[in-house]
Structure 1
Amino acid sequence: MTKVFIVAAEASGDLLAAEIIDEIRKNAPDTVIRGIGKEDMAARGVRSEIDVSELSVIGLIEGLKVYKKVVALADQAADEILSFAPDILVLVDSWGFTLRVAQRIKARAPYTKIVKVVGPQVWATRAGRAKTLAGVVDHLVCIHAMEVPYYEPFGLPVTVMGNPALSRGYEGFRKRGREALQIAPDADVLLVLPGSRPSEIKNVAPELVEAAREVKKRRPETEIVIHPAASVRREFEASFPNVGTWSKVSPGSIDRFDVMASADYALACSGTVTSELAMQSIPFLVGYKTGWVTWALARGFLFKPKHVTLLNVAADDTEIAPEFVQTTFDAKLMADIAEQMLDDPKARAAQVEAQNKALSRMGEGDKNSAEIAADAILSLA
């Protein structure tokens, strides 16, 4: 009987962890699983008294603000892990937090096998993290094949699982989405995806929403649909109480891929959702803003590609989806592009074709990402 402990601090990691739990139970039903996570893991019966909700931040300065909390939670997590005495510890995403957890377990229980699922973006920032990670974990399950060479000099075994968003995605139904949203089949629909973190609802959502409102002023017949991520829906509704007077805020019960498929164009916060939009053959632009000190450090010293959107990076770092980031993150500029694209079906089709080519470079094999990750984890048993 193998004992596995899984840690996931953010919504995206929690979902992937839950999917991995499903695959482990399918392939090794006698495995005992405990963990620290959020709603998706809890739905699988894996619950913890440790609240990791405060760790859903992004950016250097934002992270420094919760540094003491990160350290305290890492200490609590280590204590809970050691009390369970797992054979394998699985750490999903959340680089800063999970690194500290790994360091504590490696120091206190060096015999525990540690697997990191989703590595730091060494291809984009701070390649030296590869050496750091190799020093505290026994196996890495990463997303992209281009990450593997960074770890080879340090002897860390690596399994490539592909993009989880592509694995779990499926084709949404445009007709069903529009019916659920009560939108006519022939209407032009502009979709707003305002982010999945509280910091994004604060820093990114206002400009995206304002861009959509500007489009509505210019094209009154356009239907505006706003789809907040489930993890921040309450924060969004509290921050934008009157947005429903000129747009439709999608109900929480609606299938998000149906919502995406119902759109003609989208304004998206940078993140996994951009790949999901591309899977639905929906053209989009990307907006993003973080703290200015974080941005200056990232652009000046850390982030190597010119673009922040994975699709654009995969397309040899060219701009398939227009990016409006930090200094160019402006509602009017984004509204201009959205209006042009809504008026030009050929331009939308051209972007979709380019997105499809980039997606083909981001795919994975016959198994889905969670299954590949589960196989890698169980191989250490």
Structure 2
Amino acid sequence: MNEPLPERSQSRPLRIAMIAGESSGDHLGAGLMEAMRADADRPVSYAGVGGPEMERAGLTSAFPLSEIAVMGPFAILARLPGLIRRVHEAVDHVVAFEPDILIIVDSPEFTHPVAKRVRRRLPGLPIVDYVSPTVWAWRPWRARKMRGYVDRVLAVFPFEPAVHARLGGPDCVYVGHPAIERLKLMPPRTAQAGDRPTLLVLPGSRITEIERLMPVFRDSLQALRDKGRDFDAILPAVPHLADRLSQEVSDWPVRPRVVAGEREKWKAFSAGRVALAASGTVTLELALAGVPMVVTYRLDPLTAALRWMVRTHSVVMANLVIGENAFPEFIHGGCDPQTLSAAIDPLFDDGPERHAQLAAIDTVRDATLIDGDSPSQRAAAAVLDILEKNGRGALTPRP
């Protein structure tokens, strides 16, 4: 921890700088902003980089989030000059804001270079990292290096504090996964006797992954139908991609119904019998919603070549939480219609494959769900603690 800076006047608004790198971080950051504002004993102002949700919560963004939202080393290399320029713009924006604290949110390829440069220019500024990089999966040496520019990590998986302690990383506290908060959007499950079961189709939220997976998903649905499986299909989409996806599935032999937005997604989850999903946060959401799943992903060439560096038994979040590969995953290899349809088919029936996944779902829920405050509120409390330790106390703890 850095030496505390002199305490600032309590009449001055609390200034919080936040840096997100993609839409999931935008959602997470907005929840934290609202929780901190609810606990503040004086006005709070925000600046940094964020998307529509963080802007609605009061952030003044240095530039549109869409200009930096990329994933995977191949995509990053292709846009490297522009990303480097945006890193420097974000740093200048934060420094000019004269914040009391900097919070970086996920997307370490962008947010960590910003944090390192801010630390050099404002060495006494406390820095919090909301969502740990996957140091438990690959490049574990990053944990120790983070100690030079991160004072606390807010973990969204319960196993991460122990990982950082083992690897010599920064102070790390588990605050809960944001998917827990979104569960309230799901209506109660109701019996649907006589109706056709619903297959959820979840190809991801990034253009690159959608382009790679949609042809495979189309043919997987057709392969299931060819096996004699009768079902309805729903494709939940982020709003800005709904029209594009609706057009793309319009000529599919088995055409899914496209729905847009968080509420419609969780409504679909409440009806889902089984899901075919791209690897990502959605696998944890599906487990919390009680939906068995098959998970897949098709990598870009460079990422596929680097797979040997991954040091974990799984890349599926739901599997990582419970420490076993309960939910089948086909990452690159096996990402084909025959393999995927064969794995999905038995999950429609009340047989051993489905019962095993339902038992694993109960384990995921037991490990992930938290009592009391929401993850956003717990994250706000962790930020409060850092502010107080640096002589910048400006939030009121929850009773």
Aligned equivalent of 1:362, options 359, 362, 368: 368
Aligned equivalent of 1:100, options 113, 116, 123: 113
Q: Are 1:266 and 2:266 counterparts? A: no
Match of 2:242 in 1: 233
Aligned equivalent of 1:15, options 9, 27, 39: 27
**Which sections of structure 2, spanning at least 5 residues, go unmatched?**
1-12, 393-399
Report the RMSD for the aligned CA atoms in angstroms: 2.5
Q: Are 1:114 and 2:121 counterparts? A: no
- Count residues with an aligned counterpart: 373
Aligned equivalent of 1:339, options 345, 349, 374: 345
> CA 1:185–1:372 in structure 2 vs 1: closer, same or farther (change >3 Å)?
farther
Question: Per-residue deviation at 1:38?
Answer: 0.7
**Kept after mapping to 2: 8 A contact 1:92/1:118:** yes
**Kept after mapping to 2: 8 A contact 1:61/1:293:** yes
**Kept after mapping to 2: 8 A contact 1:8/1:14:** yes
Match of 2:44 in 1: 31
**Kept after mapping to 1: 8 A contact 2:201/2:235:** yes
**Kept after mapping to 2: 8 A contact 1:195/1:205:** no
Q: Deviations over 1:127-171 (max 9, x none)?
A: 111122111122221223432244447573222112221243237
Aligned equivalent of 2:322, options 315, 322, 325: 315
54-63 vs 69-78, greater mean Cα deviation = 54-63
Match of 1:173 in 2: 187
> CA 1:131–1:220 in structure 2 vs 1: closer, same or farther (change >3 Å)?
closer
Match of 1:207 in 2: 216
Give the letter aligned to residue 233 of structure 2.
I
**Structure 2: how far apart are the matches of 1:263 and 1:345?**
17
Q: Deviations over 1:63-82 (max 9, x none)?
A: 21122222111111111112
**Kept after mapping to 2: 8 A contact 1:190/1:212:** no
**Structure 1: how far apart are the matches of 2:224 and 2:366?**
32
Q: Deviations over 1:302-335 (max 9, x none)?
A: x11122112222333x321111110111112111
**Kept after mapping to 1: 8 A contact 2:295/2:327:** yes
**Kept after mapping to 1: 8 A contact 2:145/2:169:** no
> CA 1:251–1:137 in structure 2 vs 1: closer, same or farther (change >3 Å)?
closer
Secondary structure of 1:227's match? strand
Q: How does 1:143-292 map to 2 (within 5 A)?
A: 143-152=156-165, 154=168, 156-170=170-184, 172-173=186-187, 186-219=195-228, 221-230=230-239, 232-237=241-246, 239-243=248-252, 246-252=255-261, 255-292=264-301
Q: How does 1:55-70 map to 2 (within 5 A)?
A: 55-70=68-83
Match of 2:4 in 1: none
**Structure 2: how far apart are the matches of 1:55 and 1:214?**
37
Match of 2:313 in 1: 306
**Kept after mapping to 2: 8 A contact 1:4/1:90:** yes
**Structure 2: how far apart are the matches of 1:200 and 1:18?**
25
Give the letter aligned to residue 291 of structure 2.
I
**Structure 2: how far apart are the matches of 1:339 and 1:149?**
38
**Kept after mapping to 1: 8 A contact 2:154/2:175:** yes
Q: TM-score, normalised by structure 2?
A: 0.86
79-88 vs 333-342, greater mean Cα deviation = 333-342
> CA 1:239–1:34 in structure 2 vs 1: closer, same or farther (change >3 Å)?
same
**Structure 2: how far apart are the matches of 1:107 and 1:254?**
42
Secondary structure of 2:200's match? strand
**Structure 2: how far apart are the matches of 1:229 and 1:31?**
30
Q: Deviations over 1:43-86 (max 9, x none)?
A: 22324240231433222222211222221111111111122111
Question: Per-residue deviation at 1:212?
Answer: 1.7
Match of 2:94 in 1: 81
> CA 1:164–1:34 in structure 2 vs 1: closer, same or farther (change >3 Å)?
same
Secondary structure of 2:43's match? coil
Match of 2:9 in 1: none
Question: Per-residue deviation at 1:276?
Answer: 1.0
Give the letter aligned to residue 24 of structure 2.
S
Question: Per-residue deviation at 1:102?
Answer: 0.7
**Kept after mapping to 2: 8 A contact 1:312/1:321:** yes
Q: TM-score, normalised by structure 1?
A: 0.89
**Which sections of structure 1, spanning at least 5 residues, go unmatched?**
none
> CA 1:151–1:66 in structure 2 vs 1: closer, same or farther (change >3 Å)?
same
> CA 1:255–1:185 in structure 2 vs 1: closer, same or farther (change >3 Å)?
farther
> CA 1:57–1:251 in structure 2 vs 1: closer, same or farther (change >3 Å)?
closer
Give the letter aligned to residue 6 of structure 1.
M
Match of 2:5 in 1: none
18-27 vs 354-363, greater mean Cα deviation = 354-363
Secondary structure of 1:123's match? coil
**Structure 2: how far apart are the matches of 1:376 and 1:329?**
40
Question: Per-residue deviation at 1:241?
Answer: 4.4
Secondary structure of 1:75's match? helix
